[in-house]
C-alpha cells in the first residue's frame, strides 16, 4: 500500500499513523486575526495593569510626600519648643546685673558683681566656655546680692540664688550673643522695685497656697501600710512644726519604704511634701524637681493640681511668667476635673495678676472668669483674693470707682476669715485710690481703719507705711 503524501504532521491513534492537514489560506487569515486580537487583549491588559500600578505608585508617592511634610512640621515644632526653652548667657548676665540695680545694691557690691560678670564674659566670649566657671561665678554673685537683701530686710533671703538655680534648669546657650533674646524667659521687674513689694507677692503666694491646701486636703489619703503611715504622719507633724531637718529625714525614710512597697501614690505624696520643704526654705531648683517627680508618679488629680500650682508660684516669684502661666493653666485643668472651683478661680486670678503687672488688659479676661467661678463657692479667702486682684487691675487701668467697689468686697470677705493683715492691706489700697480722687477725708478714714487692723498683727512694716500715709494727710 502506497504511503500517502505527507500533508501534515503525523501523530498516532491506536498505533495507526494519521496526519494533520495544513490550514488553507482563509484559515491562516483567521489565525492571524485571532493572534492580532489576542495581542491587543494582552496589550490592553498590560496597559490596564500599568495604569493601576501607576495610580498605586502615585498614591504611595503622595503618602510618602505627606509623611515627609508631617515630619517636617514635627521638626519645626520641636525646634520652636527648643528655642522657646533656650536662653543665651548674655541675657542671663544682663538680667543678673539688672537685678542688682533693681534691689538698690550699693556701689561697692555692684563693683564685685561686675567683676563676676567680667569673668563670665571672658569665658563665654571664647571658643570653649567652661560651664563650671560660669556657674560658680553666677552663684558667688547671687550669694553676695542675697546677703545684701538679708541684711536690708533683717531676714534670710535666697531669692537671687534661687533665680540662678531656676534659670540654669533651662536650655542655656553659652556662646555669647547679645542679639539673642528670649522674651518668655526675660526678667520682668515690677513697677515698684522695693523689696517690700516683692514681700507682698510672697505673702499673697503664702495666702493662696494655704487656700489651695485647705480645698484639697479633704481628698488626701494616708498610706495603708502601718509603718509607712506612721512615718508619713510623723514627718508631716515635724514639717508643720518647722523642724524641717527631722521632717526631711523622716520623709526620705518613708520614701524608701513606699518604693519598696511599690506604693506609687504615697511615693508621689511624699515627693510633694519634700518639694514643699525645699520650697519653704528657698531651695527652688530642688523643689521644682520634687514637684515634677510627684506629678509623674500619681494618678490623683488633686495632687497633680497642687504640685502644678506650687511650681507655678515658684516661676511666678522668679519672674518667669510664661512658665508660671503654663503651670497655673495645668492647675486649672486638673482642678476642673474634680470641680474644685476655689482652686480654679485662685489660679485664674494669679494669671490675671501677671497680666495686670504687665499692663495688659488681658488680665480682665481671666479675672472675670475667676469672679464668676468663685461666686459659686462659700470660700471667703478665695473670694477675697479674686476681688482684691480685680481691684488692683482696675486701679492699674485708672478705673478708681470699680477699684473701690472690689476693695470693699475684698475687705468684707477677708473680715470673715483670720486674715487680719489682708484686711488692713486692702483698706490701705482703697485709701490710696481715694487720694487719687483727691478725697483726703475718706482716705484718712480708710487709713485709720487699716491701722486699727494692722495693730492686731505683728507686721511692723505695714504699720509704718500706714503711719507715713496718715502723716502726709495731716
Using one digit for the tens of pLDDT, what is the confidence trace for 54-72?
555 555 566 556 656 656 6
pLDDT confidence tier of residue 199, bands split at 50, 70 and 90: very low
Query: What confidence score (pLDDT) does residue 281 get?
Result: 92
Angle, CA 181 vertex, CA 176 and CA 185 arms, to 5°? 110
Phi, psi (rounded to 5 degrees) for 16:
-95, 145
pLDDT, mean of residues 69-85: 56
Query: What confidence score (pLDDT) does residue 26 get?
Result: 46
3-state secondary structure of 18: strand
Signed CA dihedral, 85, 370, 404, 199: sign only: negative
What's the rounded Cα separation, in Å, for the pair 130 and 134? 6
Query: Residues 6 or more apart from 436 whose CB is under 8 A from it?
Result: 400
Q: What is the dihedral of CA 380, 382, 385, 389, to 10 degrees?
A: -130
Domain boundaries, the chain: 1-84, 86-185
Query: What confidence score (pLDDT) does residue 130 get?
Result: 87
Regarding predicted confidence, which is higher, 449 or 124?
A: 449
Query: What confidence score (pLDDT) does residue 35 get?
Result: 59
What's the rounded Cα separation, in Å, for the pair 283 and 290? 11
Cell 519598696 found at: 260
Mean pLDDT of the residues in the chain: 80
pLDDT, mean of residues 220-229: 73
Regarding predicted confidence, which is higher, 178 or 437?
A: 437
pLDDT, mean of residues 224-234: 87
Query: What confidence score (pLDDT) does residue 109 get?
Result: 86
Most confident of 77-81, 143-147, 160-164: 143-147
Regarding predicted confidence, which is higher, 182 or 145?
A: 145
Burial of 276 (0-12, 13-18, 19+ CB in 10 A): buried
DSSP string across 377-442: S--HHHHHHHHHHHHHHHHHTT-HHHHHHHHHHHHHHHTTTT-HHHHHHHHHHHHHHHHHTT-HHH
pLDDT, mean of residues 232-259: 92
Regarding predicted confidence, which is higher, 307 or 197?
A: 307
What's the rounded Cα separation, in Å, for the pair 370 and 347? 8
Cell 490550514 found at: 23
Beta bridge partners of residue 172, listed in sequence order: 87
pLDDT, mean of residues 453-469: 89
Cell of 346: 485662685
pLDDT, mean of residues 77-81: 52
Signed CA dihedral, 124, 125, 130, 136: sign only: negative
Residue 12 has pLDDT above 50, yes or no: no
What's the rounded Cα separation, in Å, for the pair 39 and 42? 5
Residue 156 has pLDDT above 80, yes or no: no
Query: What confidence score (pLDDT) does residue 124 get?
Result: 84
Query: Residues 6 or more apart from 97 whose CB is under 8 A from it?
Result: 113, 114, 117
Is the CB of residue 159 less than 8 Å from the CB of residue 282?
yes
Q: Which of 251, 447, 79 lies closest to 259 in space, CA to CA?
A: 251
DSSP state of 263: -
What's the rounded Cα separation, in Å, for the pair 82 and 171? 8
Cell of 408: 470693699
Query: What confidence score (pLDDT) does residue 138 get?
Result: 87
Q: What is the distance, to the nearest Å, from the Cα of residue 62 to the centroid of all Cα atoms in its chain?
A: 39
Q: Count Cα atoms within 13 angstroms, Cβ side, for 413.
A: 21
Regarding predicted confidence, which is higher, 189 or 366?
A: 366
pLDDT confidence tier of residue 191, bands split at 50, 70 and 90: very low
Is the CB of residue 322 less than 8 Å from the CB of residue 288?
no
Regarding predicted confidence, which is higher, 146 or 86?
A: 146
Query: What confidence score (pLDDT) does residue 134 get?
Result: 85
* Of the candidate ranges 59-73, 101-115, 192-206, the one whose mean pLDDT is the lowest: 192-206
**pTM (global) more than 0.75:** no
Regarding predicted confidence, which is higher, 154 or 264?
A: 264
What's the rounded Cα separation, in Å, for the pair 146 and 193? 15
Is the CB of residue 413 less than 8 Å from the CB of residue 380?
yes
Residue 421 has pLDDT above 70, yes or no: yes
Cell of 185: 524667659
Cell 500706714 found at: 466
Query: What confidence score (pLDDT) does residue 85 get?
Result: 53
Query: What confidence score (pLDDT) does residue 458 get?
Result: 81
Amino acid at each position: 500500500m502506497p504511503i500517502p503524501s505527507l500533508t501534515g504532521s503525523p501523530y498516532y491513534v491506536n498505533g495507526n499513523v494519521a496526519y494533520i492537514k495544513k490550514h488553507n489560506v482563509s484559515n491562516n487569515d483567521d489565525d492571524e486575526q485571532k493572534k492580532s486580537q489576542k495581542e491587543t487583549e494582552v496589550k490592553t491588559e498590560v496597559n490596564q495593569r500599568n495604569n493601576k500600578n501607576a495610580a498605586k505608585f502615585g498614591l504611595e508617592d503622595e503618602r510618602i510626600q505627606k509623611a515627609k511634610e508631617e515630619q517636617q512640621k514635627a521638626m519645626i515644632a520641636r525646634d520652636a519648643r527648643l528655642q522657646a526653652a533656650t536662653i543665651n548667657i548674655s541675657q542671663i548676665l544682663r538680667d543678673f546685673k539688672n537685678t542688682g540695680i533693681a534691689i538698690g545694691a550699693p556701689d561697692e557690691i555692684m563693683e564685685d558683681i561686675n567683676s563676676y560678670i567680667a569673668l563670665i564674659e571672658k569665658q563665654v566670649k571664647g571658643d570653649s566656655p567652661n560651664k563650671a566657671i560660669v556657674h560658680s561665678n553666677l552663684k558667688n554673685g547671687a550669694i553676695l546680692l542675697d546677703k545684701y537683701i538679708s541684711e536690708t530686710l533683717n531676714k534670710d533671703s535666697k531669692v537671687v540664688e534661687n533665680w540662678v538655680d531656676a534659670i540654669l534648669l533651662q536650655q542655656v546657650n553659652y556662646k555669647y550673643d547679645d542679639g539673642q533674646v528670649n522674651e518668655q524667659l526675660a526678667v520682668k521687674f515690677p513697677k515698684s522695685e522695693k523689696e517690700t513689694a516683692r514681700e507682698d507677692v510672697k505673702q499673697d503666694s503664702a495666702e493662696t497656697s494655704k487656700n489651695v491646701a485647705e480645698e484639697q486636703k479633704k481628698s488626701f489619703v494616708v498610706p495603708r501600710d502601718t509603718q509607712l503611715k506612721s512615718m508619713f504622719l510623723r514627718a508631716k507633724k515635724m514639717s508643720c512644726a518647722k523642724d524641717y531637718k527631722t521632717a526631711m529625714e523622716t520623709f526620705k525614710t518613708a520614701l524608701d519604704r513606699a518604693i519598696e512597697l511599690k506604693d506609687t501614690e504615697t511615693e508621689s505624696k511624699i515627693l510633694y511634701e519634700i518639694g514643699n520643704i525645699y520650697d519653704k526654705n528657698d531651695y527652688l531648683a530642688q523643689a521644682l524637681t520634687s514637684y515634677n517627680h510627684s506629678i509623674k508618679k500619681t494618678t490623683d488629680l488633686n495632687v497633680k493640681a497642687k504640685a502644678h500650682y506650687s511650681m507655678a508660684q515658684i516661676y511666678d516669684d522668679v519672674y518667669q511668667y510664661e512658665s508660671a502661666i503654663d503651670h497655673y493653666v495645668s492647675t486649672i485643668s486638673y482642678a476642673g476635673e474634680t470641680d474644685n472651683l476655689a482652686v480654679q478661680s485662685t489660679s485664674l486670678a494669679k494669671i490675671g495678676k501677671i497680666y495686670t503687672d504687665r499692663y495688659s488688659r488681658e488680665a480682665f479676661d481671666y479675672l472675670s472668669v475667676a469672679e464668676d467661678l468663685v461666686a459659686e463657692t462659700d470660700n471667703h479667702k478665695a473670694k477675697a483674693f479674686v476681688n482684691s486682684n480685680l481691684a488692683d487691675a482696675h486701679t492699674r487701668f485708672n478705673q478708681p470707682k470699680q477699684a473701690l467697689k472690689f476693695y470693699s468686697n475684698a475687705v468684707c470677705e477677708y473680715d470673715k476669715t483670720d486674715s487680719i493683715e489682708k484686711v488692713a492691706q486692702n483698706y490701705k489700697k482703697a485709701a490710696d485710690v481715694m487720694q487719687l480722687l483727691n478725697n483726703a477725708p475718706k482716705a484718712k478714714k480708710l487709713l485709720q481703719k487699716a491701722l486699727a487692723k494692722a495693730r492686731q498683727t505683728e507686721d511692723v512694716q505695714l504699720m509704718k507705711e500706714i503711719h507715713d500715709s496718715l502723716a502726709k494727710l495731716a
